[in-house]
Amino acid sequence: MNGLEDCVFCKIIAGEIPCDKVYENDRILAFRDIQPQAPVHILILPKRHMESVLDLADLKTGLSANVIEAAAHIVRLERLEASGFRLLTNCGADAGQTVSHLHFHLLGGKQLTAPLA
Ligand code: AMP
């Protein structure tokens, strides 16, 4: 796992690396995945650097709810609520997490099959 200074998502949040932004507020950023696995593949992340959903759960700031609320907003922006979607986060080596800044994948726009990602 990379350190904070090497975090590609922190660099995107800082505007040092471009992204295809879908949504932003003061705590959350969402942008399209550079290697989409579905017609809609958006990454939703807290701007505050943390590695995993376990770190998010440990916070008592309401950020967990903010992430879910942002995800629901984006689902509606992308008009996925009727057809369905998948919202998931990979945590650690066994899940194949490749970027150590917590992010949720929002996938949709086609029939999603296993494996999950
Ligand atoms: P994970 O394997 O769950 O850690 O997911 C990391 C995701 O980040 C992958 O789906 C990558 O395609 C995506 N990704 C990596 N770098 C970028 C980038 N610069 N812009 C957009 N998506 C990226």
For 72-83, what is each residue's pLDDT tens digit? Answer: 999 999 999 999
Give residue 57 CA to ligand 1 midpoint distance, Å.
Answer: 22
Token digits for 108? Answer: 């949709």
Per-residue confidence (pLDDT) for residue 60, from 0 to 100: 82
Per-residue confidence (pLDDT) for residue 114, from 0 to 100: 75
Q: Quick one: DSSP state of residue 105?
A: E
Q: How many residues does the chain have?
A: 117
Per-residue confidence (pLDDT) for residue 5, from 0 to 100: 75
Per-residue confidence (pLDDT) for residue 42, from 0 to 100: 98
Instruction: Give yes or no for residue 8 CB within 6 A of ligand 1.
Output: yes
In this structure, how many other beta carbons lie within 10 angstroms of the beta carbon of residue 26? 6
Comparing CA positions, the residue from 47, 3, 2, 1 lying closest to residue 21 is 47
All domains of the chain, ordered by start, with CATH?
A: 3-108 (3.30.428.10)
Global confidence as pTM: 0.95
d(CA 57, CA 63): 9
Per-residue confidence (pLDDT) for residue 116, from 0 to 100: 60
Residues of the chain with pLDDT under 70: 1-3, 116-117
Q: Which ligand 1 atom lies nearest to the CA of residue 35?
A: 12
Give residue 104 CA to ligand 1 midpoint distance, Å.
Answer: 10
Per the omega criterion (within 30 degrees of 0), is the bond before 115 cis?
Answer: yes
Per-residue confidence (pLDDT) for residue 80, from 0 to 100: 98
